[in-house]
């Protein structure tokens, strides 16, 4: 048996828009995109012309691809790539090679951060999140793909990662032992976070609603297990809303100007719903945002109510509802209200039954990844025949967006 005393549990979630990795109190996030690198001469020219003060690894990262025998840019650094590849689509892994490079990137960035805190990562156990639509065969194939890339030495499996900070022209290489990987549905990570905190390791039936960039997921969890027959992911998310608003603005300008959906999306966190549109001036899309959000919320509620009816026929009830994901800030209030109307709950009951993610101290966008780390931590405790440490607190979030 492996000695897991010093093993580091890592949560890994390869999302449609961003990839997230978590270890202890640290979370790393970067865009789920990999791209071709510049030539050495072009990189040198780029460094001479680069005026950015953000020289962090997460912002300027390249990972060496052994299969191509070349560097590949990851996340924000792909802004300089001629060809880019978003390796997930509708929550599914479409390109194993680039998904593997992204996994390497996440582990490397975590290793850098933990080394700064004098808690080096040498041995890892991964809790890996998959969407409901992946199916066991797809993720098993990806795991097999990863295992084929590992170096076997003395019966142990090692992952070698060679990385470059293009802005600093600095290369680092690390090696970590991969002991095991456990897989679970992405939204189950949120349940694990609840189990370790609010639930105090007691089991409650929970309905997870995970609203992402390109998809939303429903995952009813009954007696600690996912109700697989009712679990599903749908091709609708924040992207659906911003796409429809972009179309409305395009039509309002007599089809002269199309506003990129990214520009609309950038306005959402700050609740600034006005855009300068050539030919028509300042365009306030508040009412369209409200309309699109209401329509999507109603569609989600219809799915939930159908599931509640089917569960009740089996003698099951839901103790708690949990709305998470990058789209929760747009839709959670509406969904929460509709759940209250469906059951006829008072505000006091509604506050108890629909859990506020902020009460757990974790942003709803990241909570799945944190829970997947807890899944790996729990498995380590089982292997060691010890009580699992149920505490967690995210103190460091490293992102590939530009520093303020």
Q: Write out the chain's pLDDT in tens, 404 residues.
A: 567 888 999 999 988 788 999 999 999 999 999 999 999 999 999 999 988 889 999 999 999 999 999 999 999 999 999 999 988 876 678 888 999 999 999 999 999 999 998 999 999 999 998 776 655 566 677 878 888 889 999 989 999 999 999 999 999 999 999 999 998 888 999 999 999 999 999 999 999 999 987 789 999 999 999 998 899 888 888 888 888 888 888 887 666 667 777 778 777 777 888 888 776 778 888 888 888 888 898 899 999 999 999 999 999 999 999 999 988 888 898 899 989 998 999 999 999 999 988 888 889 999 999 999 999 999 999 999 999 999 999 999 999 985 43
C-alpha closest to that of 323 among 206, 232, 222: 206
CA dihedral 303, 309, 314, 317 (to 10 degrees): 90
Taking CA atoms, 170 is separated from 62, 162, 173, 383, in Å, by 10, 11, 10, 38
Q: How many CB atoms lie within 10 A of CB 225?
A: 10
Task: Give the separation between CA 81 and CA 171, rounded to whole angstroms.
Answer: 19
Q: How far is CA 214 from the centre of its chain?
A: 12
d(CA 106, CA 239): 24
Burial of 158 (0-12, 13-18, 19+ CB in 10 A): middle
- CATH node for 8-185+364-399: 3.30.420.40
Q: At how many degrees (to 10) do helices 238-252 and 286-313 cross? A: 150
> 189 vs 28, 185, 235, 287, CA distance in Å?
16, 7, 20, 34
pTM of the model as a whole? 0.90
Contacts of 230 (CB under 8 A, 6+ apart): 218, 220, 307, 310, 311
**211 and 173 Cβ atoms separated by less than 8 Å:** no
């Amino acid at each position: 048996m492996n000695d897991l005393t010093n093993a580091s549990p890592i949560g890994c979630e390869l999302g449609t828009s961003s990839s997230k990795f978590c270890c202890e109190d640290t979370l790393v996030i970067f865009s789920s995109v990999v791209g071709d690198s510049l030539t050495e001469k072009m990189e040198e020219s780029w460094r001479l012309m680069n005026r950015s003060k953000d020289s962090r690894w997460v912002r300027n990262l390249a990972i060496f691809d052994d299969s191509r025998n070349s560097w590949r840019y990851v996340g924000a650094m792909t802004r300089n790539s001629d060809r880019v590849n978003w390796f997930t689509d509708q929550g599914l892994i479409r390109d194993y090679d680039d998904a593997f490079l992204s996994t390497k990137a996440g582990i490397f960035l975590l290793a850098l951060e933990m080394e700064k805190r004098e808690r080096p990562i040498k041995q890892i156990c991964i809790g890996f999140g998959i969407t409901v639509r992946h199916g066991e065969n797809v993720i098993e194939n990806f795991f097999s793909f990863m295992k084929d890339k590992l170096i076997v030495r003395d019966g142990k499996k090692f992952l070698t990662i060679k990385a470059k900070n293009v802005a600093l022209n600095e290369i680092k290489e690390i090696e970590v032992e991969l002991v095991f990987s456990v897989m679970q549905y992405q939204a189950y990570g949120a349940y694990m976070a609840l189990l370790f905190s609010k639930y105090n390791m007691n089991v409650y039936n929970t309905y997870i609603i995970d609203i992402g960039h390109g998809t939303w997921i429903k995952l009813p969890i009954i007696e600690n297990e996912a109700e697989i027959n009712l679990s599903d992911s749908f091709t609708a998310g924040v992207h659906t809303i911003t796409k429809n608003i972009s179309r409305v603005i395009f039509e309002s300008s007599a089809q002269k100007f199309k506003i990129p959906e990214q520009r609309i999306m950038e306005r959402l966190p700050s609740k600034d719903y006005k855009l300068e549109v050539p030919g028509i001036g300042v365009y306030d899309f508040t009412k369209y945002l409200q309309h699109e959000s209401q329509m999507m919320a109603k569609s989600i509620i219809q799915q939930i109510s159908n599931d509640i009816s089917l569960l009740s026929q089996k003698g099951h009830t839901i103790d708690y509802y949990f709305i998470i994901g990058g789209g929760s800030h747009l839709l959670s209030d509406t969904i929460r209200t509709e759940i209250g109307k469906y059951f006829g709950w008072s505000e006091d009951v509604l506050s108890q039954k629909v859990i506020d993610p902020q009460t757990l101290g974790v942003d709803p966008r990241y909570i799945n990844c944190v829970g997947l780390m807890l899944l790996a931590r729990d498995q380590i405790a089982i292997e060691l025949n010890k009580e699992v440490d149920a505490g967690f607190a995210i103190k460091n979030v490293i992102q590939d967006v530009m520093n303020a």
